[in-house]
Chain A
Amino acid sequence: MDRPAPLKVVVLGGGTAGWMTAASLAKLLPDRASVDLIESEDIGIIGVGEATLPHIRGFVERLGIREAEFMKATHATYKLGIDFRDFGRIGESYIHPFGSFGEELAGVGFHHYWLELQRRGQAAPLGEYSLCVAAALANRFQPPSRDLSLSSTYGYAYQFDATLFGPFMREFGQSVGVTRHEGLVTNVERNGDTGDVTALVLKDGRRIEGDLFVDCSGFRSLLLGQELGEEWEDWSHWLPCDRAAAMPCTHATEDIRPYTTATAMPAGWRWQIPLQHRMGNGYVFSSAFLDEETACEAIRDAAEGEPLADPRVLRFRPGRRRRSWSHNVVGVGLASGFLEPLESTSIYLAQMAITYLIELFPEAGGIEPADRDAFNRLVDMEYDRVRDFLILHYHATTRDDSEFWNHVRTMRVPDSLSDKLQLWRETGRIEKYSDGLFFDASWIAVYVGQGWLPQRHDSRTGMVDPERLKAAADRLRREIASEVSRMPGHREYLERETSRLAEAS
Chain B
Amino acid sequence: MSEPREPLRRIVVAGSGQVALLSAIALRRALPTTEVVLLAVAPQGPAFADFAATSLPFTASLHDRLGIDEERMIATAGASHRLSTRYFGWSSHDQRGVFAHGGWTGRAMRARFGRDWGGGPKIAGGERPAGSLAEVLTDAGRFALPPADRETPLSLIEYALRWNPPAYRTLLVERARQLGIGHVQAPIETIERDGAGGITGLNIQGQGWLEADLFVDCSGPAAVLASALPGFATVDWSTSLPTRRVFIAAGAEPMIALEDRITLLDEGWLIEQAGRDGLLTILGVGEGTSEQAAIAALGKDPVAVMPVSPGSVAEPWQGNVIALGDASAQFEPLANLNLDLAHRQLDLLLEMLPGREIEPLERAEYNRRAGLMMDRTRDLLAFHYATPRARRVFGEVEVPEAVQTALDQFVRRGRMPFHEESALLREEEMDLLGALGFERQMSPQEGASDPEGIEAGEAEFAALARRALEAAPPYAEWIAAVTQPS
A residues touching B (Cβ–Cβ < 8 Å)? 1, 28-32, 106-107, 115-116, 118-119, 358-361, 363, 368, 370-371, 374, 419, 422-423, 426-429, 431-435, 453-463
Contact = CB atoms under 8 A, between A and B. Distances in A.
Contacts of A359: 413, 415, 443-445
Contacts, number: 110
A118 B2 contact: yes
B444 A361 contact: yes
A457 B444 contact: no
B369 A432 contact: yes
A426 B359 contact: yes
Contacts of A360: 413, 415
A29 B448 contact: yes
Closest 7 A/B residue pairs (Cβ):
A462-B4, A459-B7, A459-B5, A361-B444, A115-B2, A426-B359, A423-B361
A463 B33 contact: yes
A361 B7 CA distance: 53
A358 B444 contact: yes
Interface in B398-454: 405, 408-409, 412-413, 415, 417-418, 420, 443-445, 447-448
Nearest to A368: B412
Contact of A107 (B8, B350, B408): B350
A119 B359 CA distance: 21
B181 interface: no
Given A1-B119, A427-B359, A460 B353 contact: yes
Contacts of A432: 365, 369
A358 B446 CA distance: 11
B448 A30 contact: yes
Given A360-B413, A370-B405, A458 B361 contact: no
Given A28-B448, A423-B362, A426-B359, A457 B353 contact: no
A299 B355 CA distance: 49
Nearest to A357: B444
Nearest to B354: A427
A116 B350 contact: no
B4 A461 contact: yes
Given A119-B1, A433-B420, A463 B7 contact: yes
A324 B438 CA distance: 30
Contacts of A28: 445, 448
B405 A455 contact: no
A460 to B, nearest CB: 6
Nearest to A360: B413
Contact of B408 (A31, A370, A426, A431): A370
B201 to A, nearest CB: 21
Interface string B7-46: 1100000000000000000000011110000000000000
Contacts of B94: none
B416 to A, nearest CB: 10
Given A107-B351, A419-B364, A29 B444 contact: yes
A201 to B, nearest CB: 29
Contacts of B355: 456, 459
Contact of A458 (B5, B418, B444, B445): B5
Contacts of B5: 427, 456-459
B31 A460 contact: yes
B140 interface: no
21 contacts: A29-B447, A29-B448, A107-B65, A107-B351, A358-B444, A359-B444, A360-B413, A363-B412, A370-B408, A374-B405, A422-B361, A423-B362, A426-B359, A427-B359, A427-B362, A432-B369, A435-B418, A456-B5, A457-B3, A459-B8, A459-B31
B448 A458 contact: no
B459 interface: no
Interface string B116-127: 000100000000
Given A374-B417, A423-B361, A426-B362, A456 B448 contact: no
Interface in B327-374: 350-355, 359, 361-362, 364-365, 369
A160 B423 CA distance: 41
Nearest to A432: B369
Contacts of B287: none
A29 B445 contact: yes
Contact of A453 (B2, B351, B359, B443): B2
B4 A371 contact: no
Contact of A423 (B6, B8, B33, B365): B365
Given A429-B352, A458-B4, A458-B5, 14 more contacts: A1-B119, A29-B444, A359-B415, A359-B444, A370-B405, A370-B409, A423-B361, A423-B362, A426-B359, A427-B361, A431-B365, A459-B5, A459-B355, A461-B4
A119 B1 CA distance: 6
* Among A30, A428, A458, A459: residue with most chain B CB under 10 A: A459
B30 A107 contact: yes
Contact of B4 (A119, A370, A453): A119
B417 A428 contact: no
A29 B446 CA distance: 9
Contacts of B418: 435
Contacts of B365: 423, 429, 431-432
A443 to B, nearest CB: 13
Interface string B372-399: 0000000000000000000000000000
A119 B2 contact: yes
Contact of B32 (A119, A458, A463): A463
B162 to A, nearest CB: 26
Contacts of B350: 107
A325 to B, nearest CB: 14
B30 A106 contact: yes
A433 B445 CA distance: 27
A30 B417 CA distance: 24
* Among B3, B408, B412, B444: residue with most chain A CB under 10 A: B444
A371 B417 CA distance: 11
Nearest to B115: A1
Contacts of A358: 444-445
Contacts of B8: 459
* Among B2, B354, B359, B369: residue with most chain A CB under 10 A: B2
Contact of B2 (A368, A374, A457): A457
B387 to A, nearest CB: 20
Contacts of A463: 7, 31-33
B422 to A, nearest CB: 10
B409 A374 contact: yes
A64 to B, nearest CB: 10
B407 to A, nearest CB: 11
Contacts of A434: 420
A319 B313 CA distance: 38
A361 B415 CA distance: 12
A375 to B, nearest CB: 11
Nearest to A115: B2
A455 B3 contact: yes
A435 B352 contact: no
A115 B415 CA distance: 42
A428 B5 CA distance: 10
* Among B354, B361, B408, B418: residue with most chain A CB under 10 A: B361
Nearest to A107: B350
Given A370-B408, A371-B413, A456 B2 contact: yes
A423 B354 CA distance: 12
Given A32-B448, A107-B65, A457 B4 contact: yes
Nearest to B361: A423
Nearest to A448: B2
Contacts of B33: 463
Contacts of A459: 4-8, 31, 353, 355
B345 to A, nearest CB: 14
Nearest to B368: A431
A419 B2 contact: no
Contacts of A462: 4, 7
A459 B33 CA distance: 11
Contacts of B420: 433-435
A456 B2 CA distance: 5
A455 B119 CA distance: 56
